[in-house]
Amino acid sequence: MSGNIFSPILKDPMLRAIARKVLPARVEPWLQCAVRKASEGRTNRHLARWRRKVWNRKPGSVVRCLGYEIRINDGPNFYVLYKDIFVKRIYHFEAQRSDPFILDCGGNIGMSALYFKHVYPKAHVIVFEPDPAIFPYLEENITLNGLTDVRLLKSALAGREGTLTFYSDGKYGSCLAQHAPAGIPEGWTKWEVPCVRLRDYLTEAVDFLKMNIEGAEWDVLRDSEDRLHEVREMVIEYHHLPGLPRTLHKILELLDRRGFEYLINDFDSETNSSIGPPFRLDGVRRWVAVCRRRLTCWPPVGWVRFGSLRRLTPISRGFGFDRGQPIDRYYIEVFLQRHRSDIRGAVLEIGDPGYTHKFGGNQVTQSDVLHAVPGNPQATMVGDLATGNGIPQATFDCMILTQTFLFIYDVRAAIVNSYRALKRGGVLLATFPGISQISRYDMDRWGDYWRFTTLSARRLFEEVFPAANVTVEAYGNVLAAIAFLHGLAAEELKPHELEYRDRDYEVVITVRAVKPQADER
């Protein structure tokens, strides 16, 4: 009862202030202790009930838990997972967005993935689990509960790709042969499993990484060190296996080099009494510690070196044309190359037919060029997409409108008139600036009105085209955005720097929209 009485006092700032004035100073610590003890008592009673409920359950049993139906491979294993993950919440983190990206390294039967989706239903989760005996339970538990945006990989994480020997008890104990303790326990099964590298999955911002990979922590982290900056927060279960070198000090040194704060906690005292006092370090005991790490501000304030970028004017105002290929044009051409099969038949392009010829080739039977005003020698027609004047209807198999709609104030009308100009089954390939400088040339002549996001582009096009016929993507990242704003060229960035996509830095947005065969407009 004491927890119910005093918890509001300790949690509410105003009540705490009143309590300090009314109650003796020595009372508050006592109240805190009383609340903590009451909470621990409730938790222990709850866990005792669950232990009695599941401890003797047979493999293959289904347990109902927090709205989930979970097929278990072992009663004690399920109890420990439930206690640590759902009650003690050892993998809990405070996400900065509603759809965090999570890497679950060592998924077992899927309890951690279920927890992540319970807390963050929109989360994107990749789960790695190599054990052939356990993976079917993981797969069934994700499917059974209808979880989406959860990708399962039947692979071990290691410092290199390939196939390695793996030992498992089929419940919770396992390790790669190279990390096996002296003497494989009796009853463990030997497998050959595929291995992948964590670094190959650190190609975008990771909100949370959970690692429980039974002794392979150091090899995997060392192999991924130069990409750990992509991880905001992680929990690593460090396993010391008897007879193997200790690597915790190496892991902590790596964290320090990479600007992580870390907290070490041993949570295994209930199931591994050998780590409790009196302490003995004899090299034959197996123990587990949790290293919780969060990336601090790095580099620290004042350490950033701007170099050539510390200036109030851009390196070039010409979008990069004077230095090579503009970065936005690089992304536009990647997009058109992917959809070159759409550039066929009668094709309309804005300004000149360059992309029509480059990507359409002999698939194009008729090439037209639209310009807003007379005077362009390459134009075959003069027209206004906003009003529809001069734009023929139901004429084109493909329209290439790159970086066009930003110059049209009535962009909705322009999309409607583009739709009308397409034949049934015709394809509109359009690109838009997301992060970009103003085009002064166009601003001073007919106007530079808009910058877009993937959301605004999708909303605009789905008002005209069927939603199923609209595909919207974004290209770019913070480095590409900075380089583009300074007028640097694509050749000045490395391929992987251009190809990496960060959905919070949309440099170029692309749309592929198809007019249905049965046109109802």
- Please indicate whether residue 402 or residue 252 has the higher confidence score (pLDDT): 402
Quick check: 282 pLDDT over 60?
no
Measured CA to CA, the distance from residue 8 to residue 6 in angstroms comes to 6
Report the DSSP pairing between strands 422-433 and 508-514.
Answer: antiparallel
pLDDT in tens, 39-88: 777 888 888 888 898 899 999 999 998 899 999 988 888 998 899 899 98
Task: Report pLDDT for 29.
Answer: 66
Using pLDDT thresholds of 50, 70 and 90, give the confidence band for residue 482.
very high
Mean pLDDT computed over every residue of the chain: 86
Average pLDDT over residues 349-358: 96
- Express as a percent the part of the chain with pLDDT over 70: 83
- Please indicate whether residue 492 or residue 302 has the higher confidence score (pLDDT): 492
Task: Report pLDDT for 9.
Answer: 46
Measured CA to CA, the distance from residue 98 to residue 121 in angstroms comes to 8
Contact present, 257 and 206 (Cβ < 8 Å): no
Task: Report pLDDT for 343.
Answer: 97
Measured CA to CA, the distance from residue 159 to residue 218 in angstroms comes to 9
Quick check: 337 pLDDT over 50?
yes
Give the SS3 label for residue 346: strand
Measured CA to CA, the distance from residue 133 to residue 373 in angstroms comes to 69
Task: Report pLDDT for 229.
Answer: 86
Using pLDDT thresholds of 50, 70 and 90, give the confidence band for residue 4.
very low
Residues 205, 211, 217, 221, Cα dihedral to 10°: 0
Q: CA of 233: how far to CAs of 209, 261, 295, 476, in Å?
A: 6, 10, 6, 24
Residues 209, 214, 218, 220, Cα dihedral to 10°: -60
Quick check: 270 pLDDT over 70?
no
Q: Same topology for domains 59-274+283-295 and 327-514, yes or no? A: yes
Quick check: 491 pLDDT over 80?
yes
Identity at 438, one-letter amino acid code: I
Using pLDDT thresholds of 50, 70 and 90, give the confidence band for residue 123.
very high
Task: Report pLDDT for 292.
Answer: 57
| 225-234, 322-331, 497-506, range with the lowest pLDDT | 225-234
Q: Which of 330, 92, 99, 72 is nearest to 204 (CA)?
A: 99
* Domain ranges within the chain, ordered by starting residue: 1-54, 59-274+283-295, 327-514
Quick check: 365 pLDDT over 90?
yes
Average pLDDT over residues 139-163: 93
Assigned token pair, 335: 């997009």
The fold for domain 59-274+283-295 equals Rossmann fold (3.40.50)
For the chain, state the CA radius of gyration: 30
Q: Which of 147, 142, 164 is nearest to 155 (CA)?
A: 164
Torsion sign (Cα): 406, 411, 397, 395: negative
- Please indicate whether residue 381 or residue 296 has the higher confidence score (pLDDT): 381
Quick check: 1 pLDDT over 50?
no
The fold for domain 327-514 equals Rossmann fold (3.40.50)
